[in-house]
């Protein structure tokens, strides 16, 4: 128990030194972040050692316990270091299981979202509009983001409060749309806030469109065979 309180005292003293030397940026010539990391790891190691010493285990059992703890810590460090790569793998697996799921890649070059061509020959992506998951057609021929009436309702819009008076041309002919704004549109790792959207009259649009009002906010996009890459 005495050793436990010594470890607590060391931790407290180290924290006081970090606070006192915050402006100087170092403690005993050691950069603050490095000192804090060393202090944390030292206290963690002390707690583990004290727990093992106080458990009454034999040396062989204690060595096995230390080896298990070391493996657990190494596994956690490896997971943290490769977190972005693991996210990419998870995104690719999800995209294979759920058609239209975007694959997000984040690195020093920024965020990129990969979308594969659907079985119908179009680029369709599952996007979030105001928190609702919407299957949208990536359409560079559409001037803006256009939501079908059904998708608009799912995204929180009240159709009875909209004014359908702007004529637009669609694959189904001419339709009247209303203007609104989307609090958030998320396509994978790419997020845009407060974007203008058009909402089609009920029954006039079968699928929502991700048009140029969203695409123009990107740094670019590339078409690579059966895949389109959106670059933030």
What residues does each domain of the chain span? 2-81, 99-231
What parts of the chain have a pLDDT lower than 50? Answer: none
- pLDDT for the residue 172: 57
- pLDDT for the residue 182: 95
| Domain spanning 99-231: CATH superfamily | Acid Proteases (2.40.70.10)
Contact 152, 202 (CB under 8 A): no
- pLDDT for the residue 34: 72
Backbone φ and ψ of 49, nearest 5° = -65, -45
- The pLDDT tens digits of the residues spanning 128-173 come to 999 999 999 998 888 889 999 999 999 999 999 999 988 877 655 6
Show the tokens assigned to 70: 């070391």
- pLDDT for the residue 100: 67
Distance of CA 216 to the CA centre of its chain: 22
- pLDDT for the residue 145: 92
Reported as type and span, the H/E element at residue 89 is helix 83-97
pTM of the shown model: 0.57
- pLDDT for the residue 99: 57
């Amino acid at each position: 128990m005495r050793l436990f309180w010594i470890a607590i005292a060391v931790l407290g003293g180290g924290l006081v030194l970090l606070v006192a030397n915050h402006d100087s940026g170092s403690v005993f010539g050691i950069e603050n972040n490095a000192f804090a990391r060393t202090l944390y790891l030292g206290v963690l190691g002390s707690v583990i050692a004290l727990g093992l010493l106080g458990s009454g285990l034999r040396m062989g059992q204690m060595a096995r316990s230390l080896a298990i703890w070391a493996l657990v810590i190494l596994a956690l460090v490896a997971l943290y270091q490769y977190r972005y790569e693991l996210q990419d793998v998870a995104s690719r697996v999800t995209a294979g299981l759920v058609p239209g799921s975007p694959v997000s890649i984040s690195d020093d070059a920024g965020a990129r979202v990969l979308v594969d061509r659907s079985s119908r020959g179009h680029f369709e992506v599952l996007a979030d509009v105001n928190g609702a998951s919407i299957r949208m057609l990536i359409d560079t021929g559409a001037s803006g983001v256009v939501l079908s009436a059904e998708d608009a309702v799912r995204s929180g819009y009240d159709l009875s409060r909209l004014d359908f008076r702007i004529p637009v041309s669609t694959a189904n002919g001419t339709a009247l749309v209303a203007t609104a704004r989307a609090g958030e549109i998320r396509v994978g790792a790419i997020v845009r806030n407060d974007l203008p959207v058009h909402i089609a009259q009920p029954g006039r649009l079968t699928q929502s469109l991700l048009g140029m009002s969203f695409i123009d906010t990107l740094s670019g996009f590339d078409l690579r065979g059966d895949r389109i890459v959106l670059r933030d």
